[in-house]
């Protein structure tokens, strides 16, 4: 009985503290306690750590390579070669006093340029070599288009058109020789030794832009006129004309902004000449008569140009304008009192036969002296400071060669008003045909047969009758592709002189013609 009570108590406890196993539990493997598996996670962490290490090393190598790259100069080479065959007829308008060597002949000229640019961080160094075969021809398309002054009137032409160093950071500083220009290249355009500081600006009202302030060294002058006066003036070549220290300095200021809407560019500028010369210094030949005995230096050639230029697009029409006021002093007791304006508009036209068609208008006017103005009075003929082959030209003959405006103190808008219409047609890709017609008049009436202004380009007539009929010109310029980077061009010009260039007999001179065929390789 004693053991029966023990077994009864055991069964009672089992019933209270145990539940019966299900069929599934009875036939499944028993769970065996084991330690947590950590091997696979450790391998993943190890591989991730190795990958992160490789990435850090790669980034370090790239950063070091970028740092080394930035510490080295980057070089870029580019250039072009142009060769042309020119045929000219009667560029002197039958006037002996205007005769030059290449006015009535055919000739070949060429031009070569090589630009070397080096960059390092915020620094830039540029050298542009510019050479051609015409060194001593005075007129525009000889020396003008190919050998325009690297330094003004230097017969030993400058090889480098650009040679400067520039720093660009919060502000920019440019020192050396470079192409200095304002507005539409009417006042000043050409390689100039200078120092320029530019500061960027940005405002909600005027948009982004910059202010520039600088100094320009204006070299040039004449030592002798012996060759010029043998059969002229002027005549011969420039072998007796050498650069001289003329003690002229230039100061300039410009502010360029890009307004948020309407106009794409607006520029205000001022250019001032400072004359440190005195009696005996180089003759500037301000009266352009090639006579060292006239208009001697008195240290008061200090003209001032103030201009405003802008461009933009309105209703699909591209337009640009410029207004210039010329003041300051010309010589002792004589001031400069002149002005010039320029307006241009271009509008695209619809054409099913042409890939592109544009029609345009141009109007330009430079002030001039009246025939009744005293010879020693104020200078009212508009003149530029310094122009070169890339200045604003309105046609192929008259404003490029005859009245080219390539002296220290001259302009192709001096006492001239230009009315021009033109079209640009593109019948195929990279083929552009540009016909134009231009009517030329003097701003102020001049004596018949005496030329636009009183310099060497005047005629030989002695009439006291006045006129403003200079003539008219038709030009046709065409550019077309030949090969990749090789372009061809064909230019034609026809100018018909009128009363301003009348002969002593009273008749009009024969017309002037020009044909230019050439190619240009860019590399």
Give the residue among 495, 501, 520 at the shortest CA–CA distance from 88: 495
Q: Is there a cis peptide before residue 71, judged by omega within 30 degrees of 0?
A: no
How would you class 357 by CB atoms within 10 Å of its CB: exposed for 0-12, middle for 13-18, buried for 19 or more?
middle
Domain positions in the chain are: 72-522
DSSP 204: T
Distance set, CA 360 to CA 184, 207, 227, 347 (Å):
16, 29, 44, 6
What single string gives the DSSP state of each residue in 121-175? Answer: TTEEEEEEEEEES--S--SIIIIIHHH--SSTT-SS--SEEEEEEEEESSSEEEE
- Tokens coding 397: 């003959």
pLDDT at 109: 79
pLDDT at 89: 94
pLDDT at 155: 36
| In contact, 383 and 403? CB cutoff 8 Å | no
pLDDT at 306: 98
The percentage of the chain sitting over the pLDDT mark of 90, rounded to a whole number, equals: 43
- Tokens coding 377: 């009075």
Give the C-alpha separation, 441 to 451, whole Å. Answer: 11
Helix (H) or strand (E) holding 7: helix 2-17
Q: Is there a cis peptide before residue 443, judged by omega within 30 degrees of 0?
A: no
Pick the CATH number of 72-522 from 1.10.10.10, 2.40.160.100, 3.30.360.10, 1.10.3470.10: 2.40.160.100
Q: Tell me: the pLDDT tens digits for 340-379?
A: 999 999 999 998 888 899 999 999 999 999 999 998 899 9
Residues of the chain with pLDDT under 70: 1-40, 70, 97, 100-101, 133-158, 204, 219-246, 260, 279-283, 288-297, 387-390, 405-407, 455-461
Q: Tell me: the pLDDT tens digits for 280-322?
A: 666 677 776 666 666 666 788 899 999 999 999 999 999 999 9
pLDDT at 510: 96
Give the C-alpha separation, 357 to 349, whole Å. Answer: 5
- Backbone φ and ψ for 50, nearest 5 degrees, come out as -65, -40
């Amino acid at each position: 009985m004693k053991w029966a009570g023990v077994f009864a108590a055991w069964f009672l406890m089992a019933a209270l503290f145990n539940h019966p196993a299900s069929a599934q539990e009875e036939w499944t493997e028993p769970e065996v306690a084991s330690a947590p598996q950590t091997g696979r996670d450790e391998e993943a962490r190890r591989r991730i750590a190795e990958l992160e290490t490789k990435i850090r090393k790669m980034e370090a190598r790239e950063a070091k390579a970028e740092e080394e790259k930035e510490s080295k100069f980057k070089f870029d080479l580019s250039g072009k070669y142009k060769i042309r065959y020119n045929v000219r007829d009667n560029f002197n308008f039958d006037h002996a006093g205007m005769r030059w060597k290449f006015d009535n002949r055919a000739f070949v000229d060429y031009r070569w340029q090589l630009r070397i640019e080096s960059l390092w961080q915020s620094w830039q160094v540029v050298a542009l070599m510019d050479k051609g075969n015409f060194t001593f021809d005075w007129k525009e398309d000889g020396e003008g288009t190919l050998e325009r002054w690297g330094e003004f009137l230097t017969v030993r032409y400058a090889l480098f058109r650009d040679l400067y160093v520039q720093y660009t950071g919060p502000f920019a500083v440019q020192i050396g020789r470079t192409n200095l220009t304002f507005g539409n290249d009417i006042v000043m355009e050409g390689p100039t030794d200078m120092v320029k500081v530019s500061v960027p600006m940005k405002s909600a009202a005027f948009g982004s832009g910059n202010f520039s302030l600088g100094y320009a060294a204006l070299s040039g002058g004449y030592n002798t006129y012996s060759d010029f006066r043998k059969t002229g003036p002027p005549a011969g070549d420039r072998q007796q004309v050498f650069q001289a220290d003329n003690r002229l300095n230039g100061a300039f200021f410009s502010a360029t902004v890009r307004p948020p809407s309407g106009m794409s560019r607006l520029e205000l500028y001022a250019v001032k000449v400072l004359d440190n010369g005195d009696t005996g210094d180089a003759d500037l030949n301000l009266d352009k008569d090639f006579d060292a005995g006239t208009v001697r230096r008195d240290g008061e050639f200090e003209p001032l140009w103030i201009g405003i230029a802008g461009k933009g697009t309105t209703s699909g029409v591209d337009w640009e304008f410029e207004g210039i006021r010329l003041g300051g002093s010309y010589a002792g007791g004589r001031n400069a009192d002149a002005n010039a304006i320029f307006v241009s508009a271009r509008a695209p036209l619809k054409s099913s036969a042409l890939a592109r068609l544009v029609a345009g208008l141009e109007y330009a006017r430079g002030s001039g002296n009246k025939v009744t103005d005293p010879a020693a009075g104020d200078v009212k003929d508009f003149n530029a400071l310094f122009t070169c082959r890339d200045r604003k030209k309105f046609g192929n003959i008259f404003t490029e060669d005859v009245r080219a405006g390539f002296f220290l103190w001259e302009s192709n808008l001096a006492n001239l008003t230009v009315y021009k219409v033109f079209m640009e047609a593109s019948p195929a890709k990279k083929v552009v045909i540009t016909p134009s017609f231009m009517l030329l008049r003097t701003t102020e009436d001049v004596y018949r047969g005496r030329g636009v202004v009183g310099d060497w380009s005047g005629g030989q007539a002695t009439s006291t009758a006045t006129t403003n009929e200079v003539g008219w010109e038709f030009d046709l310029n065409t550019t077309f592709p030949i090969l990749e980077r090789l372009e061809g061009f064909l230019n034609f010009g026809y100018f018909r002189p009128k009363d301003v260039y009348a002969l002593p007999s009273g008749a009009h001179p024969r017309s002037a013609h020009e044909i230019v065929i050439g190619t240009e390789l860019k590399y």
